[in-house]
Structure 1
């Protein structure tokens, strides 16, 4: 056994109904005096409750999916204008992504308070969209200094969005099994993430107000992101980043749809990873485990339902093919990639 593993340094404060107190403690620990709070208009009531105990210098709600470059530049100018010394993000992946865009050029620390299961808060990966093309990269400056998890903050997330967001986290786990820098540590974290997410999402589907289910899902989402941050982006994420940026598709739903097709494509070519995934689901095969869970959750099924036009598939294949990782366990050519996209577009049960 030989590998080179990097674990990112980050504080995690996990506690239901503890977000406001934990934020006060972190702002005090960091000695921040001019805090910029980033939260969408939709998340404003939650953000106001979470930040009630701290002094805020400026509020910023100009948030959009996939972090358009104009939104990033606006947020950076606001931070500079107010001489900000800490960014607090309260919300989902788009909100965290905007905070990262600010940190990338300013070096400001971030305290992230997630309200979804996106996992972006635990990675040093950034993404910005310009001219309908999403660019991603890795920079330790964008890794939040602290993540504050509070399952009660996810209660406002509807069941369908909770499921899509949780499956987005599961995609981090699956991709981490064969991503470019995967190692045994990533794979152990990813397997436990799959188990926790599957258990938590099933509880949320049955009882949306069940905080234990939401805690398990948050825990699984965090593990998934830690594994992903170390292992890197695999085939699944390369596909979804292109689709999201080029066609403005909803982030979580797109990941939830594409995941079973990438798993089915790679599983036979990666038998050891396939066994780990299957065991995490408690199923005979990885594909059977994921598909059984998706059926029970009534998960998003097709890219056509996410707003992608079928005529865009050839262009999408052209955009994805150059960024497919060399480490992918199965060779990806244009024909197989277009076949995968067409199956995902239609939502085929068998592929």
Structure 2
């Protein structure tokens, strides 16, 4: 059991969560409680049809839909959405989808202070945080502010059954990454460590069920539950080298977000493993294994995930560039960061090797 022999600080995040199959039916109630009457729905092109149906269902209080959200929240796309916010005098935002939709909603909230109701359809977990990552000029910059955090999160399991297996797996691994780094965060605490262990345990049990049967409601429910817990971890404590590198790689090389997390996580964990015994002890329990880094690699690969950054589109010359960027605005990390060690970490992920 992890022990904390030194004082710690835990701040409880204030988000209202509505969880369960069919819970999107409570959206009207949640909008009423927030007093919202001129709402903008945001999402990606893939959610356009669903969002238009939602607009018709909710009636006149939905003043517009914006379906141009994309990965890494480019500032240029946010500026387009902001023109709609201003022209329609929007008083709240509803986001439907994964990290792209939620990122855009957060970017609007950061600029306006408008309340958000978020309806996740993936396992990204960003809905539980006051963190925003925006990309401009090939650089992804992270911002933190209380107004970025959504007011309400509606977890409707039914909306995740159509999520393709490949995306379910990488999205779930993305969520696991939040919990892994929360376990060895310099500001972790007993509450977050417990949530992180449970979140990992729930997801690693759920993902094989989803791969075998995408409409398995037990698998989907456990995955969404695990993602929620991992999202709380992400929003409560600091992240480390894994998240720093994912932001760097995503913003610089426009790599797919969840897939990059999946390929990089086992190597980042292996880099830190010898310097964080309490985190490894919890991960061994959650994964039922001696080697958590190898277990995560094997699970993702078995379920069909691409484990090579090269195959995800990263050029080989990007290894050196990413190494250099890792040392700018560094995140706290349990193991001292050495340029050669970080370069090896990135190189192994680029090659898709199983971690040692």
TM-score by structure 2 length? 0.95
TM-superposed CA distance for 1:211, in Å, is: 1.4
The equivalent position to 1:80 in structure 2, one of 76, 86, 89, is 86
Q: Does 1:11 align with 2:32?
A: no
Deviation at 1:186, TM superposition (A): 1.1
Question: What is the CA distance between 1:290 and its match in structure 2?
Answer: 1.9
C-alpha change, 1:89 and 1:240, in structure 2 (3 Å) is same
Q: C-alpha separation between the residues in 1 aligned to 2:91 and 2:45?
A: 23
Classify the secondary structure of the residue corresponding to 2:36: coil
Q: How does 1:57-206 map to 2 (within 5 A)?
A: 57-206=63-212
Distance 1:152 1:345, change over 3 A: same
Find the counterpart in structure 2 of residue 331 from structure 1: 336
The CA distance in 2 between the partners of 1:311 and 1:296, in whole Å, is 29
Aligned partner (choices 234, 238, 241) of residue 244 of structure 2: 238
Instruction: Determine if contact 1:278/1:289 at 8 Å carries over to the other structure.
Output: no
| 1:48-76 Cα shifts (integer Å, max 9, x gaps) | 44455323111111211101111111212
Indicate which of 43, 46, 50 corresponds to 2:47. Answer: 43
C-alpha distance in 1 between matches for 2:157 and 2:58: 21
Whole-angstrom CA distance in 2 between matches of 1:137 and 1:205: 35
The 2-side partners of 1:214 and 1:142 are apart by 27
Task: Give 1:325 deviation, angstroms.
Answer: 2.5
C-alpha separation between the residues in 2 aligned to 1:207 and 1:336? 40
Q: Which deviates more from structure 2 when the two are superposed, residues 329-338 or residues 316-325?
A: 316-325
Deviates more, 1:286-295 or 1:299-308: 286-295
Q: Once the two structures are superposed, what CA deviation does each residue of 1:304-347 show, in whole Å capped at 9, x if it has no partner?
A: 11100111110111111223333x12111110011100000000
> Contact 1:90 / 1:96 at 8 angstroms: preserved in 2?
yes
1:177 positional shift: 1.1
Question: Where does residue 351 of structure 2 map in the other structure?
Answer: 346
**Which stretches in structure 2 are left out of the alignment for 5+ residues?**
none
1:163-312 equivalent positions in 2, closer than 5 A: 163-312=169-318
Aligned to 1:34: 38
Which SS does the other structure have where 1:57 is aligned?
Answer: strand
Deviation per CA, 1:233-260: give whole Å up to 9, x if none.
2111001000000000000000000000
Q: Conserved in 2, the CA contact under 8 Å of 1:27 and 1:54?
A: no
C-alpha separation in 2, matches of 1:105 and 1:124: 13
The secondary structure found in structure 1 opposite 2:181 is helix
Retained in 2: the 8 A contact 1:275–1:286?
Answer: no
| SS of structure 1 residue aligned to 2:201 | helix
Tell me if the contact between 2:266 and 2:355 (Cα under 8 Å) persists in the aligned partners.
no
Contact 2:169–2:300 (CA<8 Å) still a contact in 1?
no
Asked if the contact 1:179/1:234 (under 8 Å) is kept, the reply is: yes
Q: 1:284, CA displacement in angstroms?
A: 2.4
Q: Aligned partners of 1:77, 1:165: CA distance in 2, in Å?
A: 31
* TM-score under structure 1 length normalisation: 0.96
**Quick check: 2:185–2:334 contact (8 Å CA) kept in 1?**
no
